[in-house]
Amino acid sequence: MTPVKGRAAPRAGTGANFLDPVVLQRIGNLELVARGVVEGFLQGLHRSPFLGQSLDFAEHRPYTVGDDPRRVDWRVYARTGRYYVKEFEAETNTDFTLLLDVSRSMAFGGSGITKFDYARFLAASLVFFARRQGDRVGIVTLDDRVRDFVPCSARHLERVLITIDRARPDGSGHLASALEALAERQARAGIVALVSDLYLDPEELSGPLKVLGQAGNDVLVFHVLDPAERELPYDDALTMEDLETGETLPLQPGDLRSEYRELVRAHITAVAQALAKGRVDHLLADTSSPLDEVLFGYLSARQNRKRRGRWASPS
């Protein structure tokens, strides 16, 4: 799946600059980054309706005239003799679990920002956006195993952002085993978003994700790629070093460029096709693209999935 077309035109005003990942990189506060991205995104987008009706208890407050008598907590009245009503913090109907790839290949960046930074901003924005919609948010950082796990909760936004902020790309890129373990532990259906550069076999990737999807999760994959690793823009003879394995390879990039591009395109296509078979959405996130483009693609994918779900469900 390619990035959403037709939204490439930059928007005027400060909001457009604020969505530039290179500019966002200069902001140290990840929450502020995510808030800015989402608010800026929403300013250019009609507010979408809340999805779901679930309520989470937040606190008790004294009863006042006009309150619905049905919200009086009679247990508290029995213990204290006073009337209190229950306050519910927000309305939620799903868990939003973010899977962040922290393998070493994510450390690459050829155009001012590394893939990992871009992935962090994207992850934070998605979490913030989900939380703004009332979803419960959690995060899993993983490489060849699960590194950090924050379960979904309406109160875990800060923990999730801290986890994202502290994550470092220093693991292996074989995500399959970690995803399989995660699929086994996933107890409650929700939204699962994987942010990764996907340097692994498409079939190995699609297996665990298919399991997650069969468990009732809506699975999305954000395929983060740098333009340099798609285009191979080098001219001079050089030695390349694999960030994950440390392997080196002397070569003449200029002579291999076209064949390399073809291989990369074939890989992206193969990943997308493999994920599609498991009803997993594949979103290509180019690190040179503004984050709102990716967010818009995310929303589009969500709406498409709902339409597919209605059509697929028996009437």
- Applying CB under 8 A, the residues found at the interface with another protein are 104-111, 114-117, 168-169, 173, 197, 199, 226, 228-229, 233-245, 247-252, 254-256, 259-260, 263-264, 267
Of residues 147 and 302, the one with the C-beta less far from another protein? 147
Of residues 111 and 177, the one with the C-beta less far from another protein? 111
The C-alpha atoms of residue 245 and residue 258 are separated, in whole angstroms, by 24
Q: Own/partner pairs for 46-54, CB < 8 Å, 24+ apart? A: 48/133, 48/299, 50/91, 50/133, 50/134, 51/93, 51/94, 51/133, 51/134, 52/91, 52/92, 52/93, 52/94, 52/134, 53/91, 53/93, 54/91, 54/92, 54/93
Of residues 168 and 306, the one with the C-beta less far from another protein? 168
For residue 186, what is the DSSP state? Answer: -
The encoded tokens of residue 272 equal 């997308």
The residues, ordered by sequence, that sit 6+ positions from 93 with a Cβ below 8 Å of its Cβ are 51, 52, 53, 54, 134, 135
Of residues 106 and 219, the one with the C-beta less far from another protein? 106
Q: Least distance (Å) from another protein to the CB of residue 206?
A: 17
Q: Least distance (Å) from another protein to the CB of residue 146?
A: 21
Q: Least distance (Å) from another protein to the CB of residue 76?
A: 52
Q: Least distance (Å) from another protein to the CB of residue 245?
A: 8
Q: Least distance (Å) from another protein to the CB of residue 250?
A: 5
Q: Least distance (Å) from another protein to the CB of residue 272?
A: 17
The C-alpha atoms of residue 280 and residue 192 are separated, in whole angstroms, by 10
Of residues 87 and 259, the one with the C-beta less far from another protein? 259
For residue 249, what is the DSSP state? Answer: E
Of residues 83 and 108, the one with the C-beta less far from another protein? 108
Q: By the 8 A CB rule, do 238 and 256 touch?
A: no
The C-alpha atoms of residue 21 and residue 33 are separated, in whole angstroms, by 10
- Report, in angstroms and rounded to the nearest whole number, the Rg of the chain calculated over CA atoms: 22
